Structure 1
Amino acid sequence: MSKLKLLSLSLAVSVALFGCNNDDEHHHDDHKVIDGKTLTNTPEVIKKGDQQLNKQTITLAATSDLHGRLRGYDYAIDAEDKHAGLTRIATILEQQRTLDPNLILFDIGDTVQGNSAQLFNDMETHPMIDALQYLNYDLWVPGNHEFNFDRSFLDRNLENFDGAVISSNIKWESNDKNYLRGFQIYNVNGCKVAVIGLTPSYVPNWEASAPEHFKGLKFEDELNATRAVIDDVIARHKPDIIVGALHLGRTDQGVGVYDIAADLADKFDVIMAGHEHATYIETVKKDHPQGMNISVKGGLVEDKAKSGNYNDSNRQQSVKIIEPGKWGSDLAMAKIEVEKDAAGKWKIIDTTLSNLDTKTVNEDQNMVDEYQDIHNRSIQNARETLGVVDGDFVNGGGADEATNDDFFVDDLGPRLYSTIHKAKIQDSALIDLIQFIEREKSGATISAAALFSDTSNLRDGQYYQRKDSANLYKYDNALIGVNITGAHLKQYMEWSYNYFNTYKDGDLTVSFNPEVQAYNYDLFDGAIEYTVDLTKPAGERVDITLIDGKAFDPTASYKLALNSYRFGTQGITNGWFTKDDVFYDSSDATVPAIRDMLTAYVTEHNGISLNDEHLNTTNNWHILQLAPNGAISKNRADNKIWQQFTNKQLCIHINPNNVKYPSISHALNTNDANSYFVNKAYKADGSASKEALDLGCSWTNDPNNQG
């Protein structure tokens, strides 16, 4: 097993970083990525155990969407996350391997991006991949975020991973051969288990502004590729069990896990998924692309009363699916009981799924010690002071729309009490800062940007540290400038404001469309003035009054700055513009990432000030219902429920299907007692602490979450 060695590297982030693998142990002369050839680090069949058994339990375990969480620590907010980290997964694995030394362990992607992991991209093997090696992972499926960097980075880490690297739908453009093998077979005491891998086909759209990230590769339709590989595996290997390791959401663009599960339920026995950052256990019936929850405790334990027995008599009728959340919050487990029949063929007796929660699990101290230097360097980088903040960048100081507090931490992780960040629903200097930099760098007159983190804020007098840039803009997006017609700009804005639900009489807050992820909500700034009317249906909400000092003209051409992800995913796909409309692309700039542009600006100015003319809030837009005379503002006036909510006497329900981005899918409403619940920590004499009141509204105390 590799040992992380310390050596000094000079990186663009201007911080000395350390560590690399032992080249003698991890240099594969015969395992190199070569254009037009399939990378195979392992033989097609790997033996695990050679006992002569008539009955056994096959154990499978998986993580997904670790996003740099080697430790349970969030470097963007410089705080421990006690519900995350490979170091906690390590503790569970030690216990599980005691029960079954032949346990098959795989990671389902989005492993090396996020949580300051990019600091270590110049290392021969990234620490996250080294950590997979340390824990003896058998298999790794690259996710879409593995393609956020130059392809040579991914190639190198795939080559240096000792286990299997698989994905069925990534092909070479030159000859249609697989980039990676699509499957891996494990022979467990004579029982053959096939694992099929998959990566989202949308990678070229997400990385449209940086084609070098997937140079020479194409991504086939997920369902067609999975069908082809599974049929090939059955024909050549005749496996006893077939398992999916799919980096795919349940209802992704085009094809999701539900579609694949329904189409191939007669062939898959278990699908272990990723990408969605969700924690669930479900079953999908053959030819019915929808899931049925078969779990209790929020997707942690399979409810056998719901699921029933899964065996050879009914295995072709359905398939069980499971996902282990994000950041190492859970380890997905599948225990498959098999027994030989009279002819000596393995038959499934039953299958049981579970997500093993790390919330109360201690970190493995040996692993903590092994990677202590990586942790120290990450903290050192996060705490580097770049200057001082002058002024509150959110009106009223605090980020929370109802309480004026900033975030707290509960079982969902860091969140706001109301789950509504002021900067999402009113113009603020916090989002103006991002947008000014976008316009300054690109030369555009209009900018679009999302507030990615609800924990973001800049308060008067605080030291601006490098972590603040990571928290304000956590992705490695490049900046793109495009020419766009007024009509297409309007379509873009209407698409964005689908983030909100339609206003209902009595609403005291806005609420959010559960079908829209928070990162898909952009605000617009610069030489544009507009209003948003939430009484109208999505697609008819935005009224643009002025652009560039003139009346809005659907036929005119305007200069817009936006991030590279939005450019490829929505812009190109929806036909708002083409690649020929690009007039600026930061990909080749000295500082290509928007996040690092923020850091560079603050460093250059030795801080950030509201007195800077271009950072004064432009007040170029507002939601009509939140205006001083708007319906929501009027509903709040002298309203007892609103007062109790702002005093934390009442709590609001969190959308149970979107815990990746905690938000409310039903507004607090003066006419609807089901829109809130009582905070049991509240005390009329005011003696309850802020911490107690915050945690009193945690996910686990919500009556809606008592399954």
Structure 2
Amino acid sequence: MKKRLSFLLTFIMLLTMVMQVGVSAQSTYTVKEGDVLWRIARQYDMDWEDLAKYNNLANPHLIYVGQQIKIPTAGEEEVAEVKSNEVQISLLATSDLHGRIYPYEYAIDSADADAGLAKIQTLVKAERAASDNVILMDLGDTVQDNSAELFNADPVHPMIKALNYMDYDTWTIGNHEFNFEKSFLDNNVNTFNGSVLGANIYKTDGSYYVKPYTIIEKEGVRVAIVGLLPPHIDTWEAAAPQHFEGLAFEGTVESAKKTVAAIAGQYDILVGAFHLGKDGEHGYEGASAVAQAVPEFDVIFMGHAHEKLADLKVNGVTMIEPGAYGAALSKADIVVTKTADKFEVTSITPSNIETSGVEADADMLAEFKYVHDASLADANTVVGSISADYIENVDYITGEANVTTMPTSQVEDTALIDLINEVQLFYTEADVSSAATFTNNMNLVAGEFKKKDVAYIYKYPNTLMGVNITGANLKKYMEWSASYYNTYVPGDVTVSFDPNIRGYNYDMFAGVTYDIDISQPSGSRITNLLMNGVAIDDAKTYKLAVNNYRFGTLLGLELVTEADKYYDSYSEMQDAGRIRDLIIKYIVDEKAGVATPSLDNNWKIIGNEFEHPLKAEALEMVKSGAIEIPTSEDGRTPNVKSVNVYDLIKDGKFTEYQSLTLLHTNDMHGFFVEGQYDGMGAAKLKTVFDMYKGMSANTLVLDAGDATQGANLVTLSKGEKAIEVLNALGYDAMTTGNHEFDYDQAQLLKNVSMADFPVLAANVKKADGTDFLTPYVIKDVNGIKVAIFGLITPDTTFLSHPDNSVGLTFEDPAAVAATLVPSLRAQADVVVALVHLGDEGGVYTSSNLATNVTGIDVIIDGHSHSTYPNGNVVNGTLIASAGEKTKNVGIIEFALKDGAVISNGARLFTKAMSLNIEGEPTVAALIETIKAENAVIENEVVATTPEVLLGERDDVRTGETNLGNLIAESLLDISGADVALTNGGGIRTSINAGDITKGEVLTVLPFGNTVRVIELTGADLVAAIENGITDYPEAKGAFPHIAGMMVEFDSSKDAGSRVTSLKIAGEEVDTTATYTLATNDYLVAGGDGYTMFTGKKVVAEFGAMDEVLIDFINASGTGKGAITDRIKDIAELTSAFFYELFDIAA
């Protein structure tokens, strides 16, 4: 059975890697625990002395776990010598040591098998014993964490002393070096014996704070090493500007370019020693961006991301990162060849040497035993007691204390987060507090309360801030936090987290009650937000408690200002004001030394329908290890994909079940070119379709109508080019929409005959009672029988030109379905109604169909351009709709067992999700061909004008123009409505006097909008005009261009109360009367603020506005566009009248 495409791609990548390993295994051997050189040599029928000589081992008896031993390839008669004109340089690097000398984590009082500089020292000694050409670098985040702060007052900090002890050549400053007073950083810089690097850190006088680079020479080879770090220190440490006082930070790429240019010609090997991950974050550029911009780098050593990488190349630059805490020593063996006047790099061999299994260096352990002893003693200082466990099940699924799936502390309220917030509220006297989970396994367990317990639950040395924040900005902050969750999709039985967001950036709040609706997109998830039972007031100011890091975040998000800060624990208490210390102080002083769990359950996740017949079995698979929940690529965010039963069926985890996937679109209107305001386009549609077909062969692609009319890409050929595109996309069936009837019946039937798939409509009959189109089709999808029938709205007879439906009868969709479905039900496992009915008013809606007809498994709908993120369920029937213009692909998943549907669910693949995928080349080429053919048509002269038709941006958005009038008049003419209105933002340019080409009209009206006629009241008309003139005299895209009415307004009045007169046919509008308005489909959907148009009854529809305008000009000329003051500002007249009154009075 096929795997999901993502797993398939992973498998292919892994297979490639395995094949590479298989090849390299013939020439290298990785040392394992217990290995000695003579045994390795014997495996390859070699003398151990020859093997030692081949590998340049100065001490053959000193090899270490993870070391790569080169094995001569078959046929080599002699052990190779390093050529006399070659030099090998070994570059070694550590990063993100975070206070670890011993292989020990003091916060949990436990040994760490793959951590600590003492283990790194064992590896470094071996490397130096093998070669004198070794350069050792540390990439930053060195002096913070793991009780390292205990020694901040030492003349030389133990971590700096350890780097010196090991003879590090360079140290790049990391962002966590700035967590403390600037004087502490200065001391560390001054006491490090090697070169401290940071090319993007400047003093206020413009000079460098530390060296931007250093050049080290080995056997005449000049190695230049450039240091960089994230430039966001001033944001992250914004709450404590004294930490970076007198310093400024520059962008990474900018600094790299500048530095490399400055040292051109001075090096043979160029090395990056960056405290940067491969990817940027928070708006700055990462190491990959530097490699793209500055390909002169031979190798870039990376840090910050805590990721292990040794097989990455970007733009020809070798990239390597050792992970964190001393888990590995990154190594790059660089061979350079001496030429007549320089050295040239001929090979770079990157690797990460793991420290797991490596013995810590005994001499170093002895040297720094005082650090270990003091850290242990401090960690085990008893400060109170814990009455009960704060979290009973630390792992949400397994219940274990070690998280392997997802932390309970991030999916529901816990007493632990409540404790942190309780402390913060107490000391700041705030209304609201926020806190995050810093360690997945964090918990307080019944027993003695020791300092290490606090370090474990609060990893960072943050201080506490109190800030004033408006209710509106509090909501924005909470929405920012809630973006941590992935959006729920049907079939999910667990919550999951966004892989691009770190857990420390997900905050949970106290002082308020709220729900997080994960069925909604990011930015729209916080609901039922109350304080003491009262809704948060957007305009009111509240007091908020946050840590200093989050204060910097809020400054960056522009949700607070520096002036909003009213409390700073560091200013009040210095080091005693760190939140870790405040937690201890609170328990000791306020709780008599006894920490007792208290849980208020003030928030919860909603919008997740996790109940599914297969849920329990799926979770058991997780517990047993049969299903592994993935982490982010860098390993720092757990649980980045929800357990989804439909995926599991596709993956063959439930062998008794079958999956069925329906991909669907609707109302595409020929918008097959990706555009800023349109959808993903046809080429990306094809990529998405192929992707899901790759995940499961049980996949069908369906369309619910209005695909062949709208954009000029397809209308110029009367829909024929649309059929070509649909064929290339591989559709299995579609229903006709009303706009397919915008062409005459002969053209519609020609288009149908061109299609490689059936076009369905069960309720359209010819005069003799026979079917006009195929009513239904039954597909056999690998043994699953899928019946698909089509329905179209009977309103087609007036929504499209009435002449195009002459001789046809459009029967009641529900009545037809009620007769047809029982028959289909008897023949099929799944029954699909592919309909073009919509959900806007009237009786012919998809909801009405679901209410009156049972036995349909899913209704795939079009016509109203509705977007249902997870579908709607009406009378037990799922209704799905994917919006319009290729903005989404609808995805419906079915689980079946023994031919019966067990469950189904709907979701969307959105345009936003398509941003990082490539369009399928064949379809992309087809679109380009159609565009080229259309270009010939667009050069055709279609009309003439004796004058310039004014459509410049500033003109159409601030007042009446002849082109705006002409467009409004064309709408009025074709529709026969009472009045017409279009928005200035939809008019994009002017038309010069003389011949008018089709292309010129398309440039004026590029959006493919169609004409719609709606019924509305006079009050709605007045509201519409008010909406369009709110910003006057400033430009606004909503400015109304009108026909059939005369409007006067007073711009000196408040927005919303400016219209003083609105006349139709010479009479003042009756606000209670009903009128018909011709406008465009964008405004009917509420675009440009015309929300008063949404939900109104659509009484007629016509074609594209560009065609309507061309026909009108040819029939009536351009005279009706003349300026007539049909929308006029009378403010100046009013002012003049009052001035005159004042003069008379005087």
TM range (shorter): 0.7 to 0.9
The Cα of 1:677 is off from its aligned counterpart by: 11
**Distance change >3 Å, CA 213–CA 656, structure 1 → 2:** closer
User: What are the Cα deviations for residues 232-277 of structure 1, in whole angstroms up to 9, with x where unaligned?
Assistant: 111xx52111101111122223211111110001x11111111111
State how far apart, in whole Å, the 2-side matches of 1:639 and 1:285 are: 44
The number of residues matched between the two structures is: 567
State how far apart, in whole Å, the 1-side matches of 2:236 and 2:613 are: 41
**Distance change >3 Å, CA 677–CA 211, structure 1 → 2:** farther
State how far apart, in whole Å, the 2-side matches of 1:676 and 1:552 are: 46
Instruction: Please tell me whether residue 455 in structure 1 is matched to residue 441 in structure 2.
Output: yes
The Cα of 1:430 is off from its aligned counterpart by: 0.7
Q: 452, 475, 484: which one pairs with 2:460?
A: 475
The Cα of 1:426 is off from its aligned counterpart by: 1.1
State how far apart, in whole Å, the 2-side matches of 1:622 and 1:137 are: 50
User: What are the Cα deviations for residues 4-47 of structure 1, in whole angstroms up to 9, with x where unaligned?
Assistant: xxxxxxxxxxxxxxxxxxxxxxxxxxxxxxxxxxxxxxxxxxxx
Higher relative contact order (CA closer than 8 Å, sequence separation 6+):
1
Q: 196, 205, 218: which one pairs with 2:235?
A: 205
The Cα of 1:550 is off from its aligned counterpart by: 1.9
The Cα of 1:589 is off from its aligned counterpart by: 2.2
Q: Structure 2: which 5+ residue stretches go unaligned? A: 1-81, 654-1146
Residues 652 and 677 in structure 1, CA contact (< 8 A), matched pair in contact too:
no
> Which residue of structure 2 lines up, in the alignment, with residue 635 of structure 1?
612
TM-score, normalised to structure 2's length? 0.48
Residues 96 and 303 in structure 2, CA contact (< 8 A), matched pair in contact too:
yes
User: What are the Cα deviations for residues 455-498 of structure 1, in whole angstroms up to 9, with x where unaligned?
Assistant: 21123x32111111101111011111111112211111111111
Residues 233 and 239 in structure 1, CA contact (< 8 A), matched pair in contact too:
yes
Residues 337 and 344 in structure 2, CA contact (< 8 A), matched pair in contact too:
yes
State how far apart, in whole Å, the 2-side matches of 1:676 and 1:390 are: 46
SS at match of 1:499: coil
Instruction: Please tell me whether residue 623 in structure 1 is matched to residue 605 in structure 2.
Output: yes
Instruction: Please tell me whether residue 245 in structure 1 is matched to residue 273 in structure 2.
Output: yes
Q: 273, 292, 300: which one pairs with 1:262?
A: 292
SS at match of 2:490: coil
Instruction: Please tell me whether residue 134 in structure 1 is matched to residue 165 in structure 2.
Output: yes
Residues 312-391 of structure 1: pairs in structure 2 closer than 5 A: 318-341=316-339, 343-391=340-388
Amino acid across the alignment from 1:438: Q
**Distance change >3 Å, CA 650–CA 462, structure 1 → 2:** farther
User: What are the Cα deviations for residues 204-254 of structure 1, in whole angstroms up to 9, with x where unaligned?
Assistant: 1111111111111111122111211111111xx521111011111222232
Residues 95-114 of structure 1: pairs in structure 2 closer than 5 A: 95-114=126-145
The Cα of 1:284 is off from its aligned counterpart by: 4.5
The Cα of 1:538 is off from its aligned counterpart by: 1.3
User: What are the Cα deviations for residues 323-371 of structure 1, in whole angstroms up to 9, with x where unaligned?
Assistant: 1100000111111111111x23111111111111111211111111111
Residues 59-74 of structure 1: pairs in structure 2 closer than 5 A: 59-74=90-105
> Which residue of structure 2 lines up, in the alignment, with residue 664 of structure 1?
639
TM-score, normalised to structure 1's length? 0.77
State how far apart, in whole Å, the 1-side matches of 2:652 and 2:481 are: 30
Amino acid across the alignment from 1:201: P
State how far apart, in whole Å, the 2-side matches of 1:592 and 1:203 are: 21
Q: 575, 578, 581: which one pairs with 2:561?
A: 578
> Which residue of structure 2 lines up, in the alignment, with residue 588 of structure 1?
571
**Distance change >3 Å, CA 366–CA 677, structure 1 → 2:** farther
Amino acid across the alignment from 2:241: P
**Distance change >3 Å, CA 649–CA 351, structure 1 → 2:** closer
> Which residue of structure 2 lines up, in the alignment, with residue 545 of structure 1?
529
SS at match of 2:646: coil
> Which residue of structure 1 lines up, in the alignment, with residue 303 of structure 2?
274
Residues 201 and 247 in structure 2, CA contact (< 8 A), matched pair in contact too:
yes
Residues 669 and 675 in structure 1, CA contact (< 8 A), matched pair in contact too:
no
Residues 311 and 350 in structure 2, CA contact (< 8 A), matched pair in contact too:
no
Residues 71 and 84 in structure 1, CA contact (< 8 A), matched pair in contact too:
yes
State how far apart, in whole Å, the 1-side matches of 2:652 and 2:388 are: 35
Amino acid across the alignment from 1:641: A
**Distance change >3 Å, CA 534–CA 638, structure 1 → 2:** closer
State how far apart, in whole Å, the 1-side matches of 2:488 and 2:254 are: 42
State how far apart, in whole Å, the 1-side matches of 2:493 and 2:271 are: 47
Amino acid across the alignment from 2:305: E
Residues 493 and 615 in structure 2, CA contact (< 8 A), matched pair in contact too:
no
> Which residue of structure 2 lines up, in the alignment, with residue 123 of structure 1?
154
User: What are the Cα deviations for residues 662-705 of structure 1, in whole angstroms up to 9, with x where unaligned?
Assistant: x1211122332289999xxxxxxxxxxxxxxxxxxxxxxxxxxx
Q: Which has the larger radius of gyration?
A: 2
Instruction: Please tell me whether residue 650 in structure 1 is matched to residue 679 in structure 2.
Output: no
The Cα of 1:656 is off from its aligned counterpart by: 5.0
**Distance change >3 Å, CA 113–CA 674, structure 1 → 2:** farther
Q: Percentage identity across aligned positions? A: 38
Residues 667 and 675 in structure 1, CA contact (< 8 A), matched pair in contact too:
no
User: What are the Cα deviations for residues 633-655 of structure 1, in whole angstroms up to 9, with x where unaligned?
Assistant: x2388722224434x35342322
Residues 454-603 of structure 1: pairs in structure 2 closer than 5 A: 454-459=440-445, 461-526=446-511, 528-568=512-552, 570-590=553-573, 591-603=576-588
State how far apart, in whole Å, the 2-side matches of 1:417 and 1:677 are: 23
Amino acid across the alignment from 1:124: P
State how far apart, in whole Å, the 2-side matches of 1:518 and 1:636 are: 31
SS at match of 1:447: strand
State how far apart, in whole Å, the 2-side matches of 1:521 and 1:320 are: 34
Relative to total residues, which structure has the larger helix share, 1 or 2? 2
Amino acid across the alignment from 1:329: A
> Which residue of structure 2 lines up, in the alignment, with residue 298 of structure 1?
none
SS at match of 2:438: coil
The Cα of 1:131 is off from its aligned counterpart by: 0.6
State how far apart, in whole Å, the 1-side matches of 2:472 and 2:338 are: 65
Residues 382 and 467 in structure 1, CA contact (< 8 A), matched pair in contact too:
yes
> Which residue of structure 2 lines up, in the alignment, with residue 91 of structure 1?
122
Amino acid across the alignment from 1:207: E
Amino acid across the alignment from 1:153: F
**Distance change >3 Å, CA 553–CA 677, structure 1 → 2:** farther
Q: Structure 1: which 5+ residue stretches go unaligned? A: 1-50, 287-317, 408-415, 679-707
State how far apart, in whole Å, the 2-side matches of 1:238 and 1:123 are: 38
User: What are the Cα deviations for residues 373-398 of structure 1, in whole angstroms up to 9, with x where unaligned?
Assistant: 2101111111111111113322xx23
State how far apart, in whole Å, the 1-side matches of 2:502 and 2:529 are: 28
Residues 201 and 222 in structure 1, CA contact (< 8 A), matched pair in contact too:
yes
State how far apart, in whole Å, the 1-side matches of 2:599 and 2:145 are: 30
